[in-house]
Amino acid sequence: MTRQEALDRLRDFSIQGEDVYLIDLIPLVEMIWSDGQAQASEIGIFQAYLIKHVNNVNTIAGYKMLTIEKAEQFLQRFLNCRPSEKLLHTLRSLIPPLRLSGSDDDANQMLRTSMLQGCLDIAASSVTEDPYQAIERFCSDEKKCWFEIFDTLNDRSKSAPSN
């Protein structure tokens, strides 16, 4: 998929302009919901990541392109109630052509690593059942979700599902 095709696809979801830079947060949203519930500790980690992400985008842009308030407003539709898995998978599949295909390989890798680390931090922040065994810190749904995100961000997955 080309960058322009991905931008056109995002427009189908009313995501355009500076909001395109917020799709990097979709994998973290997916991780939050992967166990079926958005827990307070997960939202706290997500909020910290959001602030860091907005500041980083603004630094790279050289001006205040995004605000925390605008980013939070954009993301509320994904956090207030659980979005469909199909929607999240589709949006995630648009990240590589839009955000990870630039000419600066180091910057692409740093963004990829940041998203994957954010997902791990969210998954490790809480468990749905206590007590848990040492190998059950992440539930199987979280593990599956993380590997799907990993594959997508490393461009090893299938193309986005169609509407």
pLDDT tens over the chain, length 163 residues = 899 999 999 999 999 999 999 999 999 999 999 988 899 999 999 999 999 999 999 999 999 999 999 999 999 999 999 999 999 999 999 999 999 998 999 999 999 999 999 999 998 887 655 545 555 667 888 889 999 999 999 986 544 444 4
Phi, psi of 115, rounded to the nearest 5 degrees: -65, -45
DSSP string, 148-160: HHHHHHTT-SPPP
Which of the 8 DSSP states describes residue 100? S
Positive or negative CA dihedral for 147, 161, 10, 155?
Answer: positive
- pTM summary value: 0.86
The residue with tokens 């995002």 is 10
